[in-house]
Structure formats: structure tokens, C-alpha cells
Amino acid sequence: MRVRDKNKQQPENRQKYGRQTAGIGQEWIKEKCVGESGIKSEDSPAKRIYFMVQMLYMFPEKDRYYQQKFNQLVKQFVDAVPSSAPIVLEIGKSVIVGDVYGALKKCRKLMKYEEEVLKHVTG
């Protein structure tokens, strides 16, 4: 499990490229970096959570901002779908310990769960 040390100095190239990529729009990130057409748009609450965790992964220097947004989205999601709490807690634990890649994997599980809930409600 990867734990990020916030006090550790970022490599110089990470700082350089981090500043360059910070100016890239979210549309480019969604198209080029996400990798799956099913996740390219933030058209569902679970996908918005996935996207926010992805931002934490790609821009660790802005983790405070993205964690606040993540917390807001997670609260809204659990309020709407209380049965999702165990999955959301696992994602949150991964984010807290710095295992953001693991959190991304767990977000995929949340997206599948969201699909199942929507199928059950609509069908």
C-alpha cells in the first residue's frame, strides 16, 4: 500500500510537470487520461466521485482542495443511497491513508453498485 508523505519534497520534474498540467482543462483530462468511454463524463454521482479521486491521484499538490470536494460528493451520495456506505467507507479509508490508486479501483465497484441500484429502482 502506497502512503504519501506530504512533507517529502516532490522531485523537480514532478513540480515542473505538475504546474504545466494544472492549466489543462478538465475536458482534456476526461478524454485523454480516464481511458474508458464509460467514465469519460461525470454524468452520475459515482462517476463524479471517481473523477475527484482521479484528480487527487494526478494532482497530489492540490490534495486539500480535492479532498474537500470528494467529501462533499461522498456525503451527498451516501445521503441518497445509504446502502452504499460500506463501499464509500472503503474508498474514504484508501484516500485517507494515501492509497489513491486503490481508491480508484474501489470507485469502479461503487459505479457498478450505482448501476445495480438504478436498475432495481427503474426496472
Among all chains, which residue has been given the C-alpha cell 452504499? 84
Please indicate, yes or no, whether the overall pTM of this predicted structure exceeds 0.75: no
Give Cα 107 distance to the centre of its chain. 7
pLDDT at 101 over 60: yes
pLDDT band at 123 (very low <50, low <70, confident <90, very high): confident
The pLDDT tens digits for 34-81 are 444 444 557 899 999 999 999 999 999 999 999 999 999 999 999 999
Give the Cα separation of 72 and 107 in Å (integer): 15
pLDDT band at 25 (very low <50, low <70, confident <90, very high): low
122, 96 contact by CB (below 8 A): no
